[in-house]
Every structure is written in C-alpha cells, then in structure tokens.
Amino acid sequence: MNPKLIIDATDFAAALLFILGLKRMSSPLTARSGIVVAGWGVLVATLASFLEAFGVTADAQPHLGTNLALGVIALVVGVGWAWWSGKRVPMTAMPQMVALYNGMGGGAAACIAAVELSSPLPSPGSKLAIALVGALIGAASLSGSLTAWAKLDGRINRAFHAKGQQYANGIVLAATIFVGIDIISGGAPTPALTAAFFIGALAYGVLMTLPIGGADMPVVVSLYNAFTGIAVGIEGYVLQKPVLVIAGVVVGAAGTLLTLVMARAMNRSVSNVIFSRFGAASSGPGREIAGAMKPAEASDAAVSMRYAGKVIIIPGYGLAVAQAQYKLYEFVKLLQAAGVEVKFAVHPVAGRMPGHMDVLLAEAGVPYDMMHELDEINEEFSTADVALVIGANDVVNPAARTDKTSPIYGMPILNADHAHQVYVIKRGQGKGYSGVENELFFADNCAMVYGDAQAVLVKFIAALKELGAAA
C-alpha cells in the first residue's frame, strides 16, 4: 500500500474522532465518552506522526534518528506530566489546569513557526507570513494562559492597572507585527529578529492579561482556548497537516462561541472584558444598602427546607473550595426522600471556568436533569419556597437588575431573591470577585448561614436525620 495513503487515512480517522468527540462534549450526558473519543483521536494522530518519523514517507528518512528521539522524549514527558497532574489536581484547581493546557497548545503552535524560521531553506513569503500569524497568536496564548493560571492559582492576587496601559500594549503589539513584516521581507530571518518577534508576542500575552480582574477569568480562559485552536489550525496549514487544521478550526470555533456566550452571560462584550476593568463603564460604586445581614442556625435552615415544597439550589465557587458537592447531594437525597422537589440553578459564569459547576455536581453524581440553566429556571424562583445559595455572590445580586450605578448593572442573574425564603451559606461577610456588596444578603427574606460549606452541610444532614429519628 502507498505509504502516503496510510498517513492520509490515519490523519482522516484522527480528524473524524476529534469532531465526534467534540460533538459529544456538547452535552453533559455524553461528555465523558466524548473526551474518550477525542483522546483516541489524539492517539491516532500521534501514531501518524511516529509513522512519519519511522520513515514511512521518503522525505522523513534523513531525520529518522532526531525525529524519533524528540518524539519519544515529548511523549514520555507529556504523558507522564498529564497523568501525574490529572490524578492529583482537585476540582478547585481545574481552571488552572485548563489554563495551563491551553497555554501548552499555543506554545506548541509557536514552536512550529520557530522551526520554520530556523530552517536553512525558509518557506516562501506567503507561507512564512501565515506561520508568523500563528506564532503571534500561539505565543500570546501561551504567556496569557500562564498569567491567567497565576491569577487563578492565587500567585498573582490583583489586577494591574496603569494610566495609558492599553496604549502601551498597542505599541508592543505594533512593534511585534513590524518585526514580523521585517522578517518576511528580509528573506532569511536572523536569530535576533526571530528572538525579538517571540519576545514581543510573549510580552503582549502577559500585558493583555494582567489588567483583567478575577471575575472575568472564565471568559479569558475560553478566549485563550479559542486562540490556541486558531493557532494550531494555522500551523497545521503551514505543515500541510489536515488533521491539525481540522482540529484547530473546530476547537477555535467552539472556543469563540463559548467566549461569546460567557460574555453575554455577563452582559458585556469581549472587547470590554479585555480592554476595560470590570464595571469600568458604570457611573459609580453602587448605592448604599440599608439594613444588616441576618444570621441563621444551620439546623433551622435545614428544617425549613425539609418542610418546603420546592427548593432551588444555586452552587458557586465556595462549594468547590469546600469540596462539599458530595455532602450537598447527600443532603438533597434526604430532602427528596421527604417529598421535597429539588432543582439546581447553574449560572454560566459561576465558578472559575465555563461549566465548572456542572462538572462539580456531576462528579458527586447529581443527575443532569436536575441541573438547569439560567434562562430555563429563572421564572421558577417565584414558586420556590426556599432558594439555597452556596458560595455564590455576584450571580445572585439584585443590584444587577435595579441599580444603574452598580458595576454589575445589566448582568443577567439568577432570581434567587424572588423565592419565599433565601438561605446563603458563606464563610464570612466578604464581597464577590467584582468587589460589589450583594443586596440580596440584606433582604428581608434572606438569612446567612455562616461557615465552611462542607461543615454547614454536615449540620444540615445531621438535623434532618435527627428529625427523621424523632419522627
């Protein structure tokens, strides 16, 4: 059989597996199998690369030893690190892990362009230009994703703002593009120009991400996912590898759509997320809030929910931090056994990455048909006896609907305040990621159950079991 035909058939199979896997990831019911299918696609694509390294195609023969050694080293390091980190990473650190993997993909695309630039026989000008575009996007995605990881991991604890910052970022980007044009027009790139180009691209990724606040990190993570896909697709064209083009385009398109959905969930444009501080367009810090937060005992809240007809639970990052999803579902099953209707309301930007809360609840075994998105459940809060908010803040703040001076005004929220009674599990009286005081916490129908989410839920469970034993 024609060796080239073997490679093409393997690439085609890998591309089909990527597309099928991503399609299945679009639904929580099939997401796990989608990851497995896409993983097989990666394995097939890797096999195709090794077939080339082993010299199945004639042009790979002169580089057999070098390609094979580099491939084996990359495979061992990559699989080893992924296996080790995947086993150890807690759910609370999953956003950091996603950011790192995004960055690695962008960095790989940039490395492909670096090889093209260092080649003794450089590509034609048009192909080199395309490679440089992919390098710019990939390198910026690498450094930007690493910066996002540092923010999510608490290694960078604040956003950095300075007067004229966006102009400075624009100058760095323009200078990098100018160096790229000089490389294209100069024929054989010099090491100095190549280094300057990549330094500029990496610097721009850092500078673009540093000013962005923590509340915008879900959008930023999905944006860099789109960047990585686009960069991989571009470099796949440079290498004439259809499997990379298809995988990159599919991931880039999915990441772009997800970014737009996340931004819409915050009632903001993507450009506003990237180029403005959270709430920069608002006219003030928000109105003064009258009243005080009212504490409640965990046992009283649990008994109230036990005798409710309908309870809607709103999970937030505090649930993930406490690793309390298992105790939460144990509590929910006790409520259901008592005849209480229970639903979960999941806001698109709850947590630190897209789908964070869905994955967290699914990990504990919560059925997917109990999880409802904002649009489909918001009208049901007015018929709920109790809304239970666990570690969420900005996504339930009524100021987003009513206070035009609030930084989060216009952001779609879950209507928890429309429930007859609201209980909020919170470790303290701090504000959310946006730094805005939550009006819900001061409402007449809201009570605060202070404490770590897992500890509070243990008390909830004990109260229901004691109530059942007494009956």
Active site amino acids: 394
Task: Please list the helix, strand and coil fractions of the chain in percent, rounded to the nearest 5, in that order.
Answer: 65, 5, 30
Task: Report DSSP letters for 121-174, one per residue.
Answer: SPPPHHHHHHHHHHHHHHHHHHHHHHHHHHHHTTSS-S----TTHHHHHHHHHH
Region at 390 (left for phi over 0; alpha for psi -120 to 50; beta for the rest): beta
Helix (H) or strand (E) holding 350: none
Q: What radius of gyration do the chain's Cα atoms show?
A: 25
Tell me the backbone φ, ψ of residue 246, rounded to 5 degrees: -65, -50
Helix 3-24 vs helix 31-53: crossing angle, to nearest 10: 160
Q: Residues 107, 136: contact at Cβ < 8 Å? A: no
Question: Measured between alpha carbons, how far is 130 from 204 in angstroms, rounded to an integer?
Answer: 19
| Residue 423 bridge partners (DSSP) | 388, 447
CA distances (Å), 398 to each of 215, 390, 421, 441, in order?
Answer: 17, 16, 15, 10
Q: Considering only CA atoms, which of 436, 437, 463 is closest in space to residue 449?
A: 463
**End-to-end Cα distance, the chain:** 76
Cβ(186)–Cβ(193) under 8 Å?
A: yes
Amino acid 89 reads V
Are the C-beta atoms of 364 and 291 separated by less than 8 Å?
Answer: no
**Residue 126 tokens, joined:** 């048009």
As to burial, measured by CB atoms within 10 angstroms (0-12 exposed, 13-18 middle, 19+ buried), residue 83 is exposed
